[in-house]
Amino acid sequence: MGDAVTASASLGATPGPEGAAAPVLAISGVSMRFGAVQVLFDIDFDLRAGEVHALIGENGAGKSTTMKILAGYQPPSGGQVLLDGAPVDFAGSQQAEAAGVVMIHQEFNLAQQLTVEENIFLGRELRRGPFLDHRRMQAESRALLERLNCAVDPRAAVSDISVPNRQMVEIAKALGREARVLIMDEPTAVLTTRETEILLEQIDRLRAAGTAILYTSHKLDEVARIADRVTVLRDGRHVLTAPASDLSTDRMAEVMVGRELSDLFPPKPLPGDETVLKVEGITIPGLIHDAGFTLRRGEVLGFAGLVGAGRTELMEAIVGLRHAAGRVEIKGQQLAGGSVRAARQAGLVYLTEDRKEKGLLLGKDLTQNLTLLALDRFTNLLIDRQAEAAALDRAITEFDIRAGDRGMNVGNLSGGNQQKLLLAKTMLAEPDIVIIDEPTRGIDIGTKQQIYAFIAALAAAGKSVIVVSSELPEVIGLSNRVAVMAEGRIAGVLEGDEINEQTIVRLAIGMAGSEARAS
């Protein structure tokens, strides 16, 4: 494998599409250090007009740092940024945007309390005399959103729209800047399949118009479809640059992780007969309608459905984060509704889909995040710092959490390491039932494999797991049974040979269960 990667690395000078011009934007010999930790080592990378260049790698490989350097958010510790072949020293992202370099962030860079229109035109507001021209900005915002088939009202506050629609607003904001270079960090991580198709069509149009596009995604099928060239980073080093047509998705994955990736999903443990969770008649007006299901000991129960089907809302109601009518029983005992503490004491915990805003304290260190949910175990008048340190040692080993400094803020960890820390934090409470919402969103394929193995190990140890995921291969590959939601209702529960993409999709779009199973 090592010889193969070394040979492939020599492809770094591979030219872009035939007839492509000189690079619009590039970095040469760039290194990056945060204190004593070096995260980039002598990176060369370029973007050409009319080309989609994919940058891929595991979480922590250095992709985000590379993008931030290109977009002016972070000056390099060494090396140069080149614009049209000449060295440039962006003083910040605003100067980069003025030069036509725009970045769409994976973590939204939107002002939550402002309207969609105000976000799209933030910093470049249109005026009519001394006054803001809201009518014109709303019209232009609506036109940009219509290009993305997004029906959001430009007058709506960003805080009131869905996560996928926020991503569409981010993209519309970038499209409105008519960038020469567009840098896209995981743009489809929260989008539905339909929304993804619309975005990829827009990327094709931008490429045809001569825009240089940097596209970063963990969805390698998207990379294979949209990219002209692919560059792989591993551990802060450039490993390979090659035409996308020369790389299969399997080959991309192997180069990313430095090993062959076979058997992505582990064998499914066999569940027991005991029912540990029984949900009946859960109803949230306008969101969830009479939802019920059971969960057995040692079972992985998948929840599939379109975005907006109500999966997350149902899970939040079960663990007490939302008020709902209905009944939840754990091992035959009714759970007090609306109480997260009661759920945790009964052995039920929930890993939120939004690790950034709801799961972790990004401004705190690893230890403070790890022990927060089980702090009573480390407190006797005073917090036992030695016991906390020992717990972090175990978590780092068990969950393979990679952090250069244990005192660093969690916000500086890669997405994969944040997710593994969130898992460690949750399991420190020693639950019997674990609900994991979007376990691998924004996670690279190597870390996905680790998390899948961890979920299977939980079930094999007699824990019961609910996995909510928008990725059908994930639901199918992990689950003993699959519950499919449509418009706030459980449309069907599948098992055995019924668990396949066609049946799940037909239930998710509202077809009757008998019709879905007939195929």
pLDDT reported for residue 108: 65
342 CB neighbour count, 10 Å cutoff: 16
Torsion of CA 40, 46, 50, 51, to 10 degrees: -50
Same fold, 1-99+211-261 and 263-347+431-519: yes
Please give the Cα distance from 298 to 197 (Å, whole number): 37
Please give the Cα distance from 53 to 206 (Å, whole number): 13
Backbone angles phi, psi at 26, to 5 degrees: -155, 160
* Token code pair at residue 49: 């007009």
What SS3 state is found at 263? coil
Residue 330 host element (H or E):
strand 325-330
With tokens 């960890």, the residue in question is 413
pLDDT reported for residue 381: 79
pLDDT reported for residue 359: 66
pLDDT reported for residue 510: 76
Q: In what order do the strands lie in the sheet with 433-437?
A: 348-351, 433-437, 464-468, 300-305, 481-486, 489-495
Determine whether domain 263-347+431-519 maps to CATH 3.40.50.300.
Answer: yes
In 3D, which of 496, 512, 489, 351 has the Cα closest to residue 427? 351
What SS3 state is found at 253? helix
**b vs e for 7-40, b when ≥16 Cβ sit within 10 Å of the residue's Cβ?**
ebbebeeeebeeeeeebbbbbbebebeeeeeebb
pLDDT reported for residue 197: 85
141 Cβ contact partners less than 8 Å away, ≥ 6 residues apart: 116, 117, 120, 121, 154, 172, 176
In 3D, which of 181, 179, 183, 186 has the Cα closest to residue 163? 186
Please give the Cα distance from 459 to 20 (Å, whole number): 52
What SS3 state is found at 381? coil
How far the first Cα of the chain sits from its last, in Å, is 42
pLDDT reported for residue 2: 38
* Token code pair at residue 34: 């945060």
What SS3 state is found at 435? strand
Helix and strand counts by DSSP (H, E) for the chain:
18, 24
* Token code pair at residue 345: 């004491």
Can you list the residues of the chain whose pLDDT is less than 50? 1-20, 514-519
516 exposure class (CB count in 10 Å sphere: 0-12, 13-18, 19+): buried
* Token code pair at residue 315: 């899970």
> Is the pTM of the predicted complex or chain greater than 0.85?
no
Q: How many CA atoms lie within 13 A of 363 on its CB side?
A: 1
With tokens 């977009």, the residue in question is 71
Q: How many CA atoms lie within 13 A of 480 on its CB side?
A: 21
Sketch the domain layout of the chain as residue ranges: 1-99+211-261, 101-178, 263-347+431-519, 358-430
* Token code pair at residue 400: 């393979």
pLDDT reported for residue 13: 34
Determine whether domain 1-99+211-261 maps to CATH 3.60.70.12.
Answer: no
In 3D, which of 303, 300, 327 has the Cα closest to residue 313? 303
Please give the Cα distance from 452 to 458 (Å, whole number): 10
Please give the Cα distance from 276 to 296 (Å, whole number): 5
